[in-house]
Structure 1
């Protein structure tokens, strides 16, 4: 960096030098060794937009860091050279655009200053000038940032902008709704591809729209770095049936586009436009990131990344749907969120037709995960409601006579010591336990008293209670309790009932014995997890979704009421039950209860 000189030097020039500076067509300025520009001619002010007379100006203000270092190196050696030094560097206007100049630097030892005379390096030579002036098609050259470097007379006539209005500005012929398309085409040019006969829409200075066919090729420096692109356009409006678009003014179109963007960027559905001609998605709404967790940028770079998110069982039908092999205009399928969770989506498609052939596809995708969950819950709740109503009636009708029968059977057994009395009493107790489960279904939350509890204590007590029964069935019951678990607000008796049901089911699933593990752990500091893992016969995957339904059981004499009651209890505790199972290998049941904060 140059050290700013606090004092502006005054340079004495004779009348001849003044006249040369004023009337020279070259860019001329003088500066001291600190890089402070002391004076400059009118060409300097026109090219850079700065006037050293009005503001303190340094060489670093008109050159980038690399070129500034190059100039500074010349300044350090110029006093020792007898000839002028020549360098090439870019000079930037205060509005941001840059021009390439060839500089001749001379040192004035008498005044201790440097004179810099610059000559602009143009792309054009004689044959290029001839081509640009004679071709009837609009031709333009833009740099890596998309800013105009040069345009021919045909461009000015076709679009209405003069070169002096365009130079250094972003290509203005791209309509607002096609900015993403231009960005995509520019990236292809930067990567070395050529554009051939690409159909699009351009905008004139007066706001009218035309259909155009464009071809473009990249331009490289000797080191292989992309510096610019040359584009040739041709007006093909007369060949396009959609000529009504030309009657719209640019202001109306921009307003409609603005409304469309506001709508598409704020709706919950994913809006996507895919172009078959370039095999690329040209638009994806912001909801894509909200629903799937992946960035829009990654989708624009490679739209096939979405296929990796689709559930394997649904991938084939989605591809058929997307590639027009399916007549259905709507599809429901599963996808994986970035965090690994599964979501249900519903997509609708509408082809956009050009010259009787679909060239773009519009899809609207809705997240229906909550709807799918509600459908399952409603089905279960409908069954639970019916069973609850049935349970209320049965419980009242059966409990009274059952109490009398049980009492008299006990008296009869005490008096006669009949060998069948024990069998009758055990079966009556089974009926009584079923009635108790019916009552739980009828009034699941009756007299519920929640308290802050240590889940490890409940698991330990329940496991100790069930160990004798486990030993009778040759099952080794173990516990693995995580220390320092968060407390849970629960109803102790109900959670013990759920745990007893799960342990009994696990023991029944191992008729030949085995290992049974009950363990606790913490999940994300938000949930306390309780797991029951057995080595039993397992459950088939098609049966797992039906677990918890009334009267559905894997056991021969099971009623399905135990799991159904367990589901209702855990639901009442704001928790969830998950099943993982593999046939002939065992089952893992996981209960998640919210940690108390």
Structure 2
């Protein structure tokens, strides 16, 4: 009840009491009792009004205490980096922290008393996710126990966040629904770290395997290749077979070379090198292969010489691996564009873009894994080596691709290597 209404009722009640008691005193109380009745009336009025004031003061203290506790609770949940949400038994939002409101783009929305499906009207980007929350909440209610799951939430910038979501249903003594507590912890970095650890462990296994078998393979390989070349010179009748054998032996030798690169960490000697020269050497080497596929390589490289602190041979191998993949993925008459640009934070950007067959999303997620390849005779080691070269140069590599539209690879390198 509003304060003005309470004050109005107090004045009305006081006037009624004064006139009613005076009426009683005039018409029904003997004159000999007038003095006592008036004193009794005053005492009674003081007791009643005092009781009313005491009641309101007590309630105000409790209200202030409640507000203070609510303020502390609000400060606590707003300081959390997790999504915190309280709902009533009907699924209406009671309280949500600032992190959650910002996450669902509901900062300026009066969310209290609204269901997720109603809030979906205020957040077009997350409308599907909010509507799905009602389905997920219902599953928690039906289970009657705490539920926990990981939910992947898209972000407007195209990235995703992973949340470890815990939902706690609360019930009245009669079993009816009282409320729902939802806590969503952002575990994106943890999952990414686990993924990097998984890839590191896989590389470690590959390295151990490489160290133990690479040299053992190469020794008999050299002998086999020598004997095949000898037979090729002496037997002109089976030249096609000998050539196939030599090609396969060369392929095995190439795989062994890649394994040796992964066998153990190598000390890299960095030197300043013109990125234009590195790319020109690579393009000159691959132009013949591109011509065989009827693919054109275009260069969009600035005339100003850009020096990069790097290991030139490793960079050449990196660009050879990436451009060869683009050539093989591009249909006849296609184009591969290489763009070089100096960007902010003293970094150099190299982009290799083709208009080939593209890469599906499930394959994009597994790029760089050893022994994973879509090619019939591929080992997947080429991109594994490429990732390692980029990592050893403290750079980043990112693939962006659409099926039947093409692939774009962007590599960022720092111009200088610190803490070498």
Instruction: Look up the match of 2:249.
Output: 428
Instruction: Verify: 1:393 aligned to 2:212, yes or no.
Output: yes
CA distance in 2, matches of 1:479, 1:264: 54
Instruction: Look up the match of 1:438.
Output: 259
Instruction: Verify: 1:130 aligned to 2:27, yes or no.
Output: no
TM value normalised by structure 1: 0.53
Would the aligned equivalents of 1:460 and 1:479 in 2 still touch at CA under 8 Å? no
Instruction: Look up the match of 2:31.
Output: none
CA distance in 2, matches of 1:491, 1:503: 18
How far did residue 491 of structure 1 move? 2.2
CA distance in 2, matches of 1:582, 1:124: 69
How far did residue 367 of structure 1 move? 0.8
CA distance in 2, matches of 1:153, 1:435: 96
Instruction: Verify: 1:366 aligned to 2:185, yes or no.
Output: yes
Instruction: Verify: 1:282 aligned to 2:95, yes or no.
Output: yes
How far did residue 572 of structure 1 move? 2.5
How far did residue 516 of structure 1 move? 1.5
Instruction: Look up the match of 1:566.
Output: 386
CA distance in 2, matches of 1:523, 1:310: 33
How far did residue 470 of structure 1 move? 0.2
Instruction: Verify: 1:494 aligned to 2:317, yes or no.
Output: no
Higher-Rg structure is 1
Would the aligned equivalents of 1:292 and 1:336 in 2 still touch at CA under 8 Å? no
Out of 190, 194, 200, the residue aligned to residue 375 of structure 1 is 194
How far did residue 399 of structure 1 move? 0.8
Instruction: Verify: 1:271 aligned to 2:59, yes or no.
Output: no
Would the aligned equivalents of 2:349 and 2:412 in 1 still touch at CA under 8 Å? yes
Question: RCO higher in 1 or 2 (8 Å CA, sep ≥ 6)?
Answer: 2
Instruction: Look up the match of 1:238.
Output: none
CA distance in 1, matches of 2:270, 2:312: 8
- Could you tell which deviates more after superposition, 494-503 or 410-419? 410-419
CA deviation digits over 1:31-59, x for unaligned, max 9?
Answer: xxxxxxxxxxxxxxxxxxxxxxxxxxxxx
CA distance in 2, matches of 1:545, 1:414: 47
Higher helix share: 2
User: What is the SS of the residue equivalent to 1:397?
Assistant: helix
How far did residue 454 of structure 1 move? 4.4
How far did residue 379 of structure 1 move? 2.9
When residues 123 and 547 of structure 1 are mapped into structure 2, their CA distance, relative to the original with a 3 A threshold, is closer
Would the aligned equivalents of 1:510 and 1:535 in 2 still touch at CA under 8 Å? yes
Instruction: Look up the match of 1:515.
Output: 335
Instruction: Verify: 1:174 aligned to 2:71, yes or no.
Output: no
Instruction: Look up the match of 1:406.
Output: 225
CA distance in 1, matches of 2:268, 2:350: 21
- Could you tell which deviates more after superposition, 580-589 or 125-134? 125-134
User: What is the SS of the residue equivalent to 2:386?
Assistant: helix
When residues 293 and 449 of structure 1 are mapped into structure 2, their CA distance, relative to the original with a 3 A threshold, is farther
CA distance in 1, matches of 2:368, 2:262: 12
Instruction: Verify: 1:551 aligned to 2:364, yes or no.
Output: no
CA deviation digits over 1:65-104, x for unaligned, max 9?
Answer: xxxxxxxxxxxxxxxxxxxxxxxxxxxxxxxxxxxxxxxx
RMSD: 4.1
The alignment covers a number of residue pairs equal to 372
Which stretches in structure 1 are left out of the alignment for 5+ residues?
A: 1-121, 136-151, 163-170, 180-253
